[in-house]
Amino acid sequence: PLHRSLAALAAAHGPVLLLRFGSRRVVHVAHPAAAEECLTTHDATFANRPQLPSARHLSNGYTTLGSSSYGPNWRNLRRIATVDVFSTHRLLRSTGIRAGEVRHMARRLFKDAAGADASRPASADVKTRAFELALNTVARMIAGKRYYGDDEDDSGPSSVEAERFRAMVREYFAMHGASNLQDFVPVLALVDIGGVNNRAIRLSKARNEWAQRLIDEHRAAAAAGREQGKTMVGDLLEMQASDPEAYSDKVIRALCLSILQTGTDTSSGTIEWAMALLLNHPAAMAKARAEIDEVVGTVRILEESDLPNLPYLQFVVRETLRLHPIAPMLAPHESSADCSVAGYDIPAGTMLLFNVHTMHLDARVWGEDAERFSPERFEGGKSEGKWMLPFGMGRRQCPGEGLAMRVVSLALGTFVQCFEWRRVGDEEVDMTEGSGLTVPKAVPLEALYWPRPKMVLALREILER
């Protein structure tokens, strides 16, 4: 994986390196003090994003929140995201959606494990369950729709619409994972190897049509006085009435697409890494479960409001984000002006990669056992103030952190509370990392499981609901 190769280069040549990726100048930063200097003193200078040709179509010409450079468009999107989508107030309002989706996942696992027990465990495709959970959660927050799983709810999308959406998502992640030489050897962009550009144009059209359909449906329902439930699209359309320019359809579409693409494989990948770590560390799994049993009991399934009382569960999540930050080099930044970092001159237009993964494993900060999974290192505030940036820092810091922490902790807690888990074989779960700017497990996680006898009543209750 790129972050590992670059870490090896940094170990040999120094923590601030100027590299060339084909025609692009890239600075690789692997030292906490230098990274902090970039993201505090020079935060505004490094707040641009590089315009990578492979992302042009799928980012609507670099106009989505994650792809847009620092400027009026980004500031408007970021303000709306912070105030109207991810504020504590808005997140509290969508608590029911997250609880509903996590229960939906638990119900699915419970159904699939009918008759299973320790001697005849069922098999879970953890990656798929986590992905569907994350995607259903953001889709319901954006649009009020669940696109994956059995849906007894009449208000859900038709099966044709759901399949069209799923095809769009599959295509996006297939293209997203592909390596993109044209980003670094511009002449290749002229040839369109494998028809990648044409695929991206088609996909971009489908995505914009999906987002516009949501807007049109919400508008039509509001005009007809039909109750819709609170959704992000509905909220933003209400704002549009008083400020049509800041909340134009184009802005709403950009937000729908930004959140759909940044809010799914990030949370689900983290849930998958956390479960893999717990399967390899049964003592930590037992400790997390004992804590949940003590605080929540076994009569009901845990809720978001329990999370502040489950510190060990939160340490497991933090330790997962330290060892396996899903974006190990954040997202690429780019400098808008000449500046100097750690005594080196960095010209304008340089792409910046912050290797947070390497910094999370720095023995000078985390001790000799920095590579070991140990949620205990956070107990009693022992790691307070230690350098860890899985969500980035400064202007470009992830705006979805609060949502992600809730979804990941709730899903993980529910897995641990409701089911017994075992590895598929005797050997440890393969922890090989995939490659790319977001790093999933190379081998999708599968695990054996069965319902905990103590939780069967609570699980039956959600089955009957």
- Angle at CA 428, nearest 5°, toward 423 and 434? 100
**Residue 124 is encoded by which pair of tokens?**
């879970």
* Rg for the chain, CA atoms, rounded: 22
> What is the closest distance, in whole angstroms, from the C-beta atom of residue 262 to ligand HEM in the complex?
4
Q: Which of 262, 350, 409, 417 binds ligand HEM (CB under 6 A)?
A: 262
Q: Which of 399, 413, 440, 451 binds ligand HEM (CB under 6 A)?
A: 399
Task: Using the minimum distance from each CB to ligand HEM, give the nearer residue, 113 or 412.
Answer: 412
339 marked among binding-site residues: no
Asked whether position 267 contacts ligand HEM by CB under 6 A, the answer is yes
Convert residues 230-259 into a mask of x (bound to ligand HEM by CB under 6 A) and - (unbound): ----------------------------xx
Q: State which H helix or E strand residue 118 sits in.
A: none
- Angle at CA 460, nearest 5°, toward 458 and 463? 120
Q: Please state the φ and ψ torsions of residue 352, each to the nearest 5 degrees.
A: -120, 125
**Residue 21 is encoded by which pair of tokens?**
């990726």
> What is the closest distance, in whole angstroms, from the C-beta atom of residue 436 to ligand HEM in the complex?
13
Footprint of ligand HEM on 312-351 (CB under 6 A): 325-327, 330-331
Q: How far apart are CA 324 and CA 133, in angstroms?
A: 20
> What is the closest distance, in whole angstroms, from the C-beta atom of residue 78 to ligand HEM in the complex?
5
Q: How far apart are CA 161 and CA 143, in angstroms?
A: 13
Task: Using the minimum distance from each CB to ligand HEM, give the nearer residue, 138 or 302.
Answer: 138
From residue 264, give the alpha-carbon distance in Å to each of 132, 267, 289.
Answer: 9, 6, 26
From residue 415, give the alpha-carbon distance in Å to each of 74, 103, 153, 206, 353.
Answer: 37, 10, 24, 34, 34
Convert residues 129-148 into a mask of x (bound to ligand HEM by CB under 6 A) and - (unbound): ---------x----------
Footprint of ligand HEM on 145-204 (CB under 6 A): none
Task: Using the minimum distance from each CB to ligand HEM, give the nearer residue, 182 or 262.
Answer: 262
Convert residues 79-118 into a mask of x (bound to ligand HEM by CB under 6 A) and - (unbound): ----------------------------------------
- 3-state DSSP assignment of residue 21: strand
> What is the closest distance, in whole angstroms, from the C-beta atom of residue 433 to ligand HEM in the complex?
14
Q: Where are the beta strands (DSSP E) in 259-411?
A: 333-334, 339-341, 344-346, 351-354
- In 178-247, alpha helices (H): 187-191, 196-223, 232-242
Mark the binding-site residues, compressed into ranges: 398
Mark the binding-site residues for heme, compressed into ranges: 398
Residues of this chain that bind ligand HEM (CB under 6 A): 65-66, 78, 138, 258-259, 262-263, 266-267, 270, 325-327, 330-331, 390-392, 396-400, 403-404, 408
